[in-house]
Every structure is written in structure tokens, then in C-alpha cells.
Chains A and B, each alone.
Chain A
Amino acid sequence: MAGLELLSDQGYRVDGRRAGELRKIQARMGVFAQADGSAYIEQGNTKALAVVYGPHEIRGSRARALPDRALVNCQYSSATFSTGERKRRPHGDRKSCEMGLQLRQTFEAAILTQLHPRSQIDIYVQVLQADGGTYAACVNAATLAVLDAGIPMRDFVCACSAGFVDGTALADLSHVEEAAGGPQLALALLPASGQIALLEMDARLHEDHLEQVLEAAAQAAQDVHILLDRVVRQHIWPSPDYPLLQSGPWGCFSPNIPRVSWHRQGWYAPHFMLRTPQLQ
């Protein structure tokens, strides 16, 4: 009779989170030996796998090669078993193509493509289970995979979705919340500089509310960054201080995780070949 109450009077969402809280994030890097870089991420029940090849020579038509930078080639697919009802086509439909294009734009903004002219970088992402925020999960998985491949980047790219219900912005929407039909915004951020790599929203939202939703998404993306940063550290120097599968779901709200990322303090893994980003 009555629809789902997305946000209770007490401020809890359907699954028990508060408005600004993320779902539990678990991730692993280097899941495949064959690929140059790979990563697997779980954001709640959304699960995605990313594989990176490159930089390598242009495959196929040579004419596609760019003289001044590398070509970023992204492909998105989602498993037929990823959603409640079985999908017909795993990839190649309009939605997958669009998602691939968005991923490409995102990573062209983050990867230092000018270091590898006339070459190609392939990023393949597959969603194994979809429970809302597929774009964000793909970006986060792909970031880890690109890092795993050792391809130089300006910064992490951290993505998160946000929605708007009853005057409150909700971070990291689950499928139930997405299906309710409210406005939904996807944001990919370069966390150190706070620069936006991609911002996408195709619902109607009054401009007065945009700032609030954007703020929530940005904050959530910053929280995602803290978690991804820990995953990377864990991957390089496995240590019991950072038990891999227990990165708390609430990110910065958890008292035992430092709020400031070390990344920003100027620490870089040598084989990342990162250049210090221009901090504003």
C-alpha cells in the first residue's frame, strides 16, 4: 500500500545507514596474474571486476593512434546474472556503451596519457552483481587496477553516487533507493585536488538542491578514497595493522581510521611513478 520509506524520521535509511554513510567496501588488487593490472571491489552488494592491459601498441587500425598521448579504451559489461532478472546481452547494448564512454572520459582525466604517446591502455570492467552505484564501483575498481598496472596517474579517481530524498542528500545509493525514482547523481573525483573528473545526472533536480547533493557525493568520494588508499597500502606491504577484509563501511566516521590521508602528505610508492599533483 504505502511505498518504501527511504529515510525514516529518525534518519535511518532502508538498510540502516544514515544519510551520509557508505556501504561496506572490500577490495583486492592483483587478482589475476595474466593481466597487467587487476582489481576486485565490493561496495555492499555491488561487485565489480576490473582488468587493465597496457600501455601497449595500438591494436587494430593504426590510424586510431594519437600523436601526443595514449588512447584509453574502456569496455563495460555486466554479467547476465548480475541483476534480479536475467539480462539478455552481457555487453554491447546502449547502456553498456554509454558506461564505457563515461569510464573513458573519467580515466582520460586521471591517467597521465601524455607520457605514452601513440600507445593504448585497455580497461575492461565487468559488474558481477548490481545493487546500485554500478558506475561508482566500476571507477573505483578500475582505479585500483590501473594502480596495480603501474600506470602513472594524477591521483586516485574515487567515485560515488548520491541521491535526494525529502530534502536530504543520500550518499551511495543502493538498488532499492535508485529504483524509487528520485534524482541520482554520479560523481568521480580526484580527491587530493578536489577536482571533478566526471559528473553525471540525468534526472530533474532543482538547482537550489544541487549543491547539497554534490557536497554529499564529494564527501562520500573522499571517504572512498581513504578506504582505497588503505587497500593499496595493504597490497604493497601486507601488515596485520590493516586487516584487508575489515575496512569499515563507514569510512571516516569510524574513530580508528585517520581522517587525513597520507597521500596528501607527500608519500608515494616508487613504482607508481606518480608526479606530485598540483595542490591548490
Chain B
Amino acid sequence: MLKSKTFLKKTRAGGVMKIVREHYLRDDIGCGAAGCTACCGAHEGPALEPQPQDPASSLCPQPHYLLPDTNVLLHQIDVLEDPAIRNVIVLQTVLQEVRNRSAPVYKRIRDVANNQEKHFYTFTNEHHRETYVEQEQGENANDRNDRAIRVAAKWYNEHLKKMSADNQLQVIFITNDRKNKEKAVEEGIPAFTCEEYVKSLTANPELIDRLACLSEEGNEIESGKIIFSEHLPLSKLQQGIKSGTYLQGTFRASRENYLEATVWIHGDSEENKEIILQGLKHLNRAIHEDIVAVELLPKSQWVAPSSVVLHDEGQNEDDVEKEEEREQMLKTAVSENMLKPTGRVVGIIKRNWRPYCGMLSKSDIKESRRHLFTPADKRIPRIRIETRQASTLEGRRIIVAIDGWPRNSRYPNGHFVKNLGDVGEKETETEVLLLEHDVPHQPFSQAVLSFLPKMPWGITEKDMKNREDLRHLCICSVDPPGCTDIDDALHCRELENGNLEVGVHIADVSHFIRPGNALDQESARRGTTVYLCEKRIDMVPELLSSNLCSLKCDVDRLAFSCIWEMNHSAEILKTKFTKSVINSKASLTYAEAQLRIDSANMRDDITTSLRGLNKLAKILKKKRIEKGALTLSSPEVRFHMDSETHDPIDLQTKELRETNSMVEEFMLLANISVAKKIHEEFSEHALLRKHPAPPPSNYEILVKAARSRNLEIKTDTAKSLAESLDQAESPTFPYLNTLLRILATRCMMQAVYFCSGMDNDFHHYGLASPIYTHFTSPIRRYADVIVHRLLAVAIGADCTYPELTDKHKLADICKNLNYRHKMAQYAQRASVAFHTQLFFKSKGRVSEEAYILFVRKNAIVVLIPKYGLEGTVFFEEKDKPNPRLIYDDEIPSLKIEDTVFHVFDKVKVKIMLDSSNLQHQKIRMSLVEPQIPGISISPDDISNMNLNGPEKKKMKLEK
């Protein structure tokens, strides 16, 4: 065992500092080939196969291992992930470079390397005595790494030859760098470019499509003119950011207008928080979610956010002039104070590309291999891909990854990754929306399932330790119909001293999910159960969610109970937390429970218990509202599904009963009690939930809208908001209050999980509670599992474990949970939208009453109360003369010809499904009433079934 020392000099924060580090070289690092006698298997984990039976390559017929360089790994990871590619040597040098350059690729390559089937081996070449190379004078780090890779490749070839004389094993060096390849060949290393190698795999032609197309410098110049200005190098950007000439921020493309985006500036400075970018050239090839550097434009060039809705529809990619025309359209005259800081992208600090779902828009030219791909997410630009199977991919949902965006190209270049299935099919669409929202939905792996309890399961003596037997209590659960994951149950009884005992019993999921095992890790990753319209993506395996943890009636179940002693005015006298065993006496639906409470002649235990609960809940709710809790509203819909085809046959807004709020009230109480307890016990690492108060500017739209109806909404505190919302009634317009509440909901901030040690503002604005957490749904939320564990430690019923008391780990968990919750919410909305489409597809076109929620420059957003459906009515259409539109932001109102639209106006719209764009089938709404000539259509206008452009009948103006 030899060692040597390297001396590295590094500069940090301006100063030059000499850093001396040791670097040990070893001779006990194995080559990774199973059965290699020289290395005597000096490692564990996945190894290379001794005789790889790899896909026959016409270039190198003998068995071989692959050794890719950094750029191949970074750009062609999709190819490497293919099951056909096996036996790959990943050098430490390569892996470190990948790690520094792209975290997602690094994670993917590690996942691949851990897969036994793939036979990937990571060779620690930097610490191997024979493959270590020192940086030479005048050699830069990149060249040194390239040389290190070649040295390792050469060593491998010699080493394998030594293994046995007749062994034909070869190591093939894969690089896309021409010079590097030449040098390798000179040194006698078999080397190919990735493209050459993949094309030589005659058995797997489909791999070619997965190749990332990276145009070489050569053919870049010839094709057309340069559209975009150059991105500045990172060093310049950092300099600029430090000196303040550039600002760093996250790029957020607009969903509604492809020529507009905002950049959220990082850091705490108050001014210039949000910068607007307008026009293709100013967007300069940035893609949604990228971290970019922007330069502020002089004030004279500032613009206001346009309220225009604009989609990229041109097929021809050379019509840059046309784009400029459209850009001009955005710049309409606006008042001075509307102007927002405007900038342009000067460079990209970090790309945040991921594979995108979408559809192929086949090129008009037959036999063309270049096609445009339209992502499902409208914030992502269209991507040009090269494929031979365009005809088979047409009409399918596919996944595409971006490879790059050259300066002379209108669209980014990408490559095909995966085919999901036919568009419009329920399974495909569900898959798409799960993928687009990054919802982990694969079936649970064997490793995860192995931690489930063995069936038949029963409560044992051991389980009863630290547990109270509450099976004698008259406990029941109240849930929506069809609910199989029942995580809460309630009871209420009168005590001898006249007080009431109320218990909330929550499924004891943390008893089954032990910290740190695969089951725990998987649930932590999923974070939440996602409810789609026809499907549920469970956070924990079904055995737990629908059976062992579910507090079904008439079976013994483990629970975590929170028991209060209250007097009749709902004041808490005593709180007790305990793990318990319960036996629920009834599983009721909200309607059933309501029926029991209302029918006077029922006097059984369950009913009296429910009545007691209901009485207390009403008092609790009153108290809560007095404190300033908000009652907001959002239209929620339920689909009635056909039991066989699972197609939606009816659409209904959710009904709210007294019992809904009864259960909710006690859940809130339990959550608050638990939050207090765990924060008391673990002031540094309690997992809590907060709801920040929205900044006053959020309410602007609500206040303006109310003012147009001569109502005043006070927004200084939650309480005054709640009160003014209560008072905002109009005798002639009963639905106004609901509309105002819907608008108020839109003004709110997201509630988030956080770790108490990392934050000092705990307030929950919406519930008006100083502290809050989630405790009551551990089957479907991971946050509750953590809270259960904390509480169990606090009451001494369970032992602690290292990660639980590590606030940084907890903060990481919170971050993931917040992300998953947000994504789950979006996925649910997308699922509802898809099913609404299916519903209207079967229903044909209908006319409904609607209320205007927002007014835009060229459209109005309306809400249809009957279906809880929201949609946009456009007033500008292609190939039609634009109507005279006057938009007033102050009131806000939109004047079309002679009709004025205000927020909350009642209109009548026609709803139909627009399938002109296969990818984005959408609900389309057109105005029926009030009638405007040239704009509205007649209600009984069925003659024009041509959905793409309904003809307009001239109607007489009514006003």
C-alpha cells in the first residue's frame, strides 16, 4: 500500500489559500469483473459479468465492457438507463464530475449502479496506484480528467488481458469528444462515439431515438441565422451578480402567454422581487424553473404584464418576424404606475430540465425525421426531436428530454424517451398527470412489502404494552361514503362529575411503520395519498391503509387517542394522550350520522354520543370564528361514476352537512392539542404547520371586486376579513357571498409544514390558531406519522431514534412533504379537469348560468356554480376581426363593443368540449347572454357542430 501526497491550491472568497490534502493510493481496489483472479473480488455490490452477453454490436463482436466519459454520462443517461445497456464501468473521476455538474443525473446514475441487473461498476480510479495521474504543468483540469479516464481505460484493457490469455474481453471507451477519441485510438484503446456504438447495436434499433442529439460545432454555423444572443459564462454571471448588474432568480414561464415570463429574484431585497421578461429574445432560451441571471432594462423600456392570452401555434419555425409582430402586440399603452421592472436573460446559472410528457406534432413534410413535440405543460416550449417512428408515435402520449438549445434554433432540441400510450385513454391520461406532477405511483416494491405485518394479524400481549384498553367505549367513525381508509373515530360520554369526556381516536400507523425501514422511506418519499377521481395512489400499502390501520367497525384496532374532559360549554379541563386499543361500534357516513342526530326517536348509545359531539362542536366552532378563523369557500365537485365503464355520468358540487363540520371541529381541536404538546416537549424539532398571513397586495383584487358592488372588505386582520365577509350580503344576489369567499380563497398563501427549530412564526392564519399541526390522518399523510412518533416519545410510549431529533433532517422531510402536497393538489385538479372533459364529451353542449370571477384584457373567467366549473371565455379569435375591447384595470371591467362586463356579473355561457387540439382537449365556453353581435352565440345554435370555429350569428343588441 503506497501513498503519496498532492498539494492543491485553492482560492476562496478572494484570498489565495494553500490547501494541503493527503491523497492515498491503494493497491487493493478490484477491477470489478466477477471472477477476476488478480483482484480476488475485493469488493461487494453489483459487479460486471465475467462473460457479458451484451447486445451484439457490429463494431465490436467480442464481449466487452463500456467505459463512458463524463459528457456521455451527462447527456446520454437515457441510453445508459435502457435495459439493453449493461456492464458499464463508471470511473470515480467521471462520477465526481457528474456530481458537480448535474445533481439529477448523478442521482439517476447512482440508482442505475445499484441495480444488480445492470452490472454497473464504479471504479475508484483516483485512489488506485496504477491509474492515478497527476496534473501536469500547463494542463487544465479538464484535460487532466480526460487523460485520467484514458489511463484507466488502458489499464483495464491490459488488466483484463492478464486475467487469461485467451480472454477476448475488451473495454470500449465511449466519448463524444473528437480529440479525446483520437488520442485514445492513438494509445491503442478501442474508442467509439456514443452514436457510433448505439447505431452498431443492430438488435436494438429503438435505442437510436433515445440518443440525445448534440449538434457538433461543425454543422451549427451553416443552418440559418442566429436568433438569440449568447449566454454569458458562469464566471461573468457571478461577477455581475456580486456587483449587482445582474440579478439571480428562478425563471417562471407564463402558462397563458408563451412570450412572457417572470423571474423571482432570490434573496431578501424588497425591491425588484419580480421581474418581467417579454419577447422571445429577452427570454433567451430559458425554460421554466431554470435558475437564470437577468439584467434590468432601463426604465424607458419597462412594460406592464399583458393580460393577453397567447399560445405558440406556428408550425413553421422560421417565422421569427411574425413573432416580433406578436411581441409588438403585447406592448400596449398603459399608465406609468402599471409598469413593472423588466429585464432580459443574460445567462443560465442552472438548468432544471426534466423529462416532459406531451405529444408529437408530426412534421408537414413526409419522410421528415425532425418533428416538433408539444409538452402537456404549457410553460414548456415545444421541443424538436428526431425520430424514425413518427407515424407510430402520432396520437400517443410520449416522454421527451431536452438536450440543448442552440442559438440559431427557435426551439430546443431533444430526444424521445418513452411511449406512454394512446391519447385520451383514461390510463394514459392518468399516467401523464401523475408523471407531470411528479407523483410516485409505482406499485410498492418487494422490499417495502416485506415490512408489512404477517397475516393473519392479531393484537398480541406485546402490543398491549404502554397501551390502554378502550374497547368498552362506544366509539364510532363518520366519513364520506365509500371511504375505506378510516383514520379517525370519535366518542363522547358523560362522566360521573357531570362533565363530558370526548375522545378522538386516530389510527396508530406509526405502530406498523417503524422508522428507517424501506416501508418508512417509501411512505416518506410519497408523503401523501393522492386522490384522483377514479383512483387512489396510496401512501402506504393497501393492507395497512384499508385494513389493519383503518378503524373499521366491530374489529379491534390499534389507535392513538386524544381524550379531553370538557364541561358543557366546551372548555377543556384536562387533556390526555394515550396509545390504545379500540373497537368501533359503527362506521357511519356523514348523511347517516346526520340522520341519527335529527331523528328524535333514536336514543341508543351511538346517537347520544353523536348528539353530545354535535353540541360541543357547535360551541367550538362559534369560539373559533370569534377568534377570527376564516370560513372560505371553494367549489368542490364529485363525479358519479358509471360502475362499469368508470365514466363520469353526473357531476355534483359537494354538499356540506352539520356532521362534516362536527368531525372537522374535533380534528382541529386534536391537532391543536397535539401541536401544543409536542412543541412543549420538543421545542427544537416539532413538526408543525403554519399558514402565513398573505401580504396586503394579495387582497387587491378582492377589494376592487367588492367595491364594484359597493361593498367594503377589510383585510387588515383575519378577524376583520371574516367579519366583513359575513356582512357582504346582497339581498338581490344571494350567491355573491360565496363568490367573494371563493375570491378570498385565491388570495391566501399556502399552508406549509415546518420544523419548529428552524422558524419562529408559528401562526396559522386561516384557523386563527397560534400553533397547529397535522395529527389526525396518518394513513394518508406522512407528516402525521412523524407527529405520532413525536407524541409517542413525549408520553413515553415509544422510543426515540436519531433522525427524529435532527432538525435538519426534519426540515428536509418538511420540504419534501410541502412539495408532494402541492403536487398532489395539482394532480387532483388535473384529474377533475380531465373527468369534467369526459363528462361534457358524453353530454354534448349545454348552456348554463355563470358568474364572472376575473376580467382579463381579452377574456373573462367565469364560474358555473352548478358544476363548480371554472372556464375562460375568449373574445378574440384567429381569422376573425377583433371586436373593440376596452379594458379597465382599476374597476376591473372589460367593455366589448357596447357591453361592459364587471366582476360578479351574471352571464350565460355555452359549454362544449373542444377537441381541435388532441393534446389539450379543453372545455370551451362561449358567451350566450348578454348578446353581443359578432361575439355571442345563440343558445339553440346547434347547427354548427364544427367545434373549431363556431359561426356567429348576428343578433340584435338587447340593451
A1 pairs with B100, CB closer than 8 A: yes
Residue in contact with A10 in the complex, picked from B5, B43, B101, CB distance below 8 Å: B43
**In the complex where A16-B127, A206-B805, A208-B801 touch, is A10 in contact with B24 (Cβ < 8 A)?**
no
**In the complex where A2-B99, A9-B122, A12-B124 touch, is A45 in contact with B22 (Cβ < 8 A)?**
yes
For this complex, 25 residue pairs linking A to B, each with C-beta atoms less than 8 Å apart, are A1-B103, A2-B99, A2-B103, A5-B99, A8-B122, A10-B124, A12-B127, A15-B22, A15-B23, A15-B24, A16-B23, A16-B25, A16-B126, A23-B22, A45-B21, A84-B18, A131-B20, A131-B22, A174-B21, A174-B22, A206-B802, A208-B801, A209-B802, A249-B3, A254-B1
List B residues 107-125 near A (Cβ within 8 Å): 110, 113-114, 122, 124
Q: Is the interface of A mostly helix, strand, loop or mixed?
A: loop
List A residues 229-272 near B (Cβ within 8 Å): 248-250, 254
Most buried by A among B43, B101, B106, B124: B124
CB neighbours of B25 from chain A (8 A): 16
Is there a chain B Cβ closer than 8 Å to A17's Cβ? Answer: yes
**In the complex where A9-B113, A206-B802 touch, is A15 in contact with B126 (Cβ < 8 A)?**
no
Is there a chain B Cβ closer than 8 Å to A24's Cβ? Answer: yes
Assembled-state Cα–Cα distance A5/B899 (Å): 66
Is there a chain B Cβ closer than 8 Å to A93's Cβ? Answer: no
CB neighbours of B20 from chain A (8 A): 45, 131
Most buried by A among B3, B20, B24, B113: B24
- What does the 1/0 interface line of A15-44 toward B look like (CB < 8 Å)? 111000001100000000000000000001
- Interface residues contributed by chain A, number (CB under 8 Å): 27
Is there a chain A Cβ closer than 8 Å to B763's Cβ? Answer: no
| Min CB gap B45→A, angstroms | 8
Is there a chain B Cβ closer than 8 Å to A85's Cβ? Answer: yes
Is there a chain A Cβ closer than 8 Å to B92's Cβ? Answer: yes
Is there a chain A Cβ closer than 8 Å to B19's Cβ? Answer: yes
CB neighbours of A84 from chain B (8 A): 17-19
Assembled-state Cα–Cα distance A206/B803 (Å): 8
Assembled-state Cα–Cα distance A44/B22 (Å): 7
Chain B residue nearest to A250 in the complex (CB): B1
Is there a chain B Cβ closer than 8 Å to A180's Cβ? Answer: no
| Min CB gap B28→A, angstroms | 9
CB neighbours of B199 from chain A (8 A): none
B24 pairs with A16, CB closer than 8 A: yes
Is there a chain B Cβ closer than 8 Å to A176's Cβ? Answer: yes
| Min CB gap A228→B, angstroms | 20
A85 pairs with B17, CB closer than 8 A: yes
CB neighbours of A249 from chain B (8 A): 1, 3, 24
Is there a chain A Cβ closer than 8 Å to B26's Cβ? Answer: yes
Most buried by A among B21, B25, B43, B110: B21
Assembled-state Cα–Cα distance A45/B19 (Å): 11
Assembled-state Cα–Cα distance A1/B349 (Å): 11
| Min CB gap A116→B, angstroms | 40
Assembled-state Cα–Cα distance A168/B827 (Å): 39
- What does the 1/0 interface line of B1-45 toward A look like (CB < 8 Å)? 101010000000000011111111110000000000000000101
Most buried by B among A10, A45, A131, A206: A10
Assembled-state Cα–Cα distance A5/B96 (Å): 9
A contact set with B: CB distance below 8 Å:
1-2, 5, 8-10, 12, 14-17, 23-24, 44-45, 84-85, 131, 174, 176, 206, 208-209, 248-250, 254
Residue in contact with B802 in the complex, picked from A5, A23, A208, CB distance below 8 Å: A208
| Min CB gap B99→A, angstroms | 5
- What does the 1/0 interface line of B603-629 toward A look like (CB < 8 Å)? 000000000000000000000000000
| Min CB gap A11→B, angstroms | 8
**In the complex where A1-B100, A16-B26, A174-B22 touch, is A248 in contact with B122 (Cβ < 8 A)?**
no
CB neighbours of A9 from chain B (8 A): 45, 110, 113-114, 122
CB neighbours of A248 from chain B (8 A): 1
Residue in contact with B100 in the complex, picked from A2, A14, A44, A206, CB distance below 8 Å: A2
CB neighbours of A45 from chain B (8 A): 5, 20-22
CB neighbours of A176 from chain B (8 A): 21
| Min CB gap B876→A, angstroms | 45
Chain A residue nearest to B99 in the complex (CB): A2
Chain B residue nearest to A2 in the complex (CB): B99
Assembled-state Cα–Cα distance A15/B101 (Å): 21
CB neighbours of A5 from chain B (8 A): 96, 99
List B residues 772-824 near A (Cβ within 8 Å): 800-802, 805-806
| Min CB gap A138→B, angstroms | 19
| Min CB gap B526→A, angstroms | 23
**In the complex where A1-B100, A16-B23, A17-B24 touch, is A10 in contact with B122 (Cβ < 8 A)?**
yes
| Min CB gap B376→A, angstroms | 30
Assembled-state Cα–Cα distance A85/B23 (Å): 21
Assembled-state Cα–Cα distance A85/B17 (Å): 7
Chain A residue nearest to B126 in the complex (CB): A16
Assembled-state Cα–Cα distance A45/B18 (Å): 14
Known: A8-B92, A45-B21, A206-B802. 19 other contacts (CB 8 A): A1-B100, A2-B99, A2-B100, A2-B103, A5-B96, A9-B113, A9-B122, A10-B92, A15-B23, A16-B24, A16-B25, A17-B24, A45-B22, A84-B17, A131-B22, A206-B806, A208-B801, A249-B24, A250-B1
Assembled-state Cα–Cα distance A140/B1 (Å): 24
Chain B residue nearest to A174 in the complex (CB): B22
| Min CB gap B270→A, angstroms | 28
CB neighbours of A131 from chain B (8 A): 20, 22
| Min CB gap A4→B, angstroms | 10
Assembled-state Cα–Cα distance A172/B122 (Å): 25
Assembled-state Cα–Cα distance A209/B5 (Å): 32
| Min CB gap A28→B, angstroms | 19
Assembled-state Cα–Cα distance A206/B809 (Å): 13
Assembled-state Cα–Cα distance A2/B101 (Å): 9
CB neighbours of A16 from chain B (8 A): 3, 23-26, 124, 126-127
Assembled-state Cα–Cα distance A206/B805 (Å): 8
CB neighbours of A23 from chain B (8 A): 22
CB neighbours of B100 from chain A (8 A): 1-2
CB neighbours of B122 from chain A (8 A): 8-10
CB neighbours of A209 from chain B (8 A): 802
Assembled-state Cα–Cα distance A255/B415 (Å): 53
9 tightest A-B CB contacts, nearest first: A206-B802, A16-B127, A16-B24, A15-B22, A84-B17, A44-B22, A10-B124, A12-B124, A2-B99
Assembled-state Cα–Cα distance A165/B727 (Å): 59
A15 pairs with B21, CB closer than 8 A: yes
Chain A residue nearest to B113 in the complex (CB): A9
**In the complex where A24-B3, A254-B1 touch, is A8 in contact with B124 (Cβ < 8 A)?**
yes
Chain A residue nearest to B350 in the complex (CB): A1
CB neighbours of B800 from chain A (8 A): 206
Assembled-state Cα–Cα distance A38/B872 (Å): 87
Chain A residue nearest to B22 in the complex (CB): A15
Most buried by B among A2, A12, A16, A84: A16
CB neighbours of B21 from chain A (8 A): 14-15, 45, 174, 176
Assembled-state Cα–Cα distance A15/B124 (Å): 12
CB neighbours of B22 from chain A (8 A): 15, 23, 44-45, 131, 174
